[in-house]
Amino acid sequence: MGDDQGPGGSGLIVYIDRSDIREGRADDLRAGIRRLVEVIESEEAQLISYGFHFDDEAGRMTVVAVHPDSASLELHLEIGRTEFRRLADMVTLRQIEVYGSISDKAIALLEQKATMLGGKGITVHPRFAGFDHPQASEAD
C-alpha cells in the first residue's frame, strides 16, 4: 500500500464542483466556459484534465479537473480568477470537493472562489493511501 501525501500538497488532486445554472443563462454560460477553457488550455500545460458536464434537465453543471499537485491547483485558481468572476452571475455554486492533500494557500483560494460564486465552502478529502502511475508521456 502506498504512502499518503502529507500537507503541502504533493500527489494528484481531483477537483469537482457542482453549480446550479441560473434561469435563462445556459447559453451565456456555455459561451463563457468556451472562453475559460481556451484561456486555461493555453496557460496551464501542467493541468492533466479539465472538463465541464451539463445536466440540462436539472439545470446543473459539474466541473472535474485533475491536477498533478497542489501548486497546479493554486496556479489554476489564480489564472482563472478573472474568467470565474465573469461566470458568477450565471451560476450558483452548490459545492466544491477536492480529493487529495492541498496547501493552505489552495484552500484559501478555493474559499475565495466559493464565496464569489455564491457557495458555502469547500470539502477537502485528503488521500489516506494509494499511488499514482507516471503519465504515459513521462514514462516514454
Shortest CA distance to 88 belongs to which of 64, 66, 70, 115? Answer: 115
**What are the structural domains of the chain?**
13-130 (3.30.70.100)
pTM above the 0.85 mark? yes
pLDDT in tens, 79-107: 999 999 999 999 999 999 999 999 999 99
Instruction: Answer whether residue 2 shows pLDDT above 60.
Output: no
